[in-house]
Structure 1
Amino acid sequence: MSWTEVRRDDRIVEWERSDGNATIRLRRGPNTWHVRFDRLHQSPEGRGYEGEQFDDEDVARDTVEAWKKEYDVGQE
């Protein structure tokens, strides 16, 4: 599966998995970066959610890339 950017504004970038059942969001807060993964109940893998906060933007973006690989269908 692939991930496509579906939202970008001054605070949030969000990617959707090509099956439409999962998203990853990078959000810039006032003092931290938040990365979250959200998978729908309807997904064949079932519901899933994970979220982490980071002080460093590079570490947050590295987490986005790692989760894209980790939560790709067939990779779990």
Structure 2
Amino acid sequence: MSWTEVRSDDRIVEWERSDGHATIRLRHGPTAWHVRFDRLHQSPEGGGYDSVRFDDEDAARETVAAWKREYGVASE
């Protein structure tokens, strides 16, 4: 499944999985970067959530890319 950017402003970029059951959010807080994955309980894989804090943007964006690959495929 693919990811589509659904929000982008000066603090938050968010992507939604093409089935609508999962999102990944990159947020720039006052002192750190946060990456959050959230999958609905109605998803074929069931609910899921993960959140990680980073001191630098590059590491946060690498995690976004990795999670898009990891969570981009729903089980049938």
- TM-score, length of structure 2 as denominator length: 0.95
State the percentage of identical aligned residues: 77
Q: How many residues align?
A: 75
CA distance in 1, matches of 2:19, 2:74: 12
Residue aligned with 2:20, SS: coil
What secondary structure, in the 3-state scheme, does the structure 2 residue paired with 1:65 have?
Answer: helix
User: How far, CA to CA, are the matches of 1:74 and 1:41 in structure 2?
Assistant: 13
* Aligned-residue offset at 1:72: 1.3
Runs of 4+ in 1 over 3 A off after TM superposition: none
Q: How far apart are residue 20 of structure 1 and its match?
A: 0.3
1:74 Cα deviation after fit? 4.4
The unaligned stretches of length 5 or more in structure 2 are: none
Tell me, which stretches of 5 or more residues in structure 1 are unaligned? none
TM-score normalized with structure 1 length: 0.95
**Equivalent position amino acid for 1:60 in 2:** A
Contact kept? 2:45, 2:74, Cα under 8 Å: no
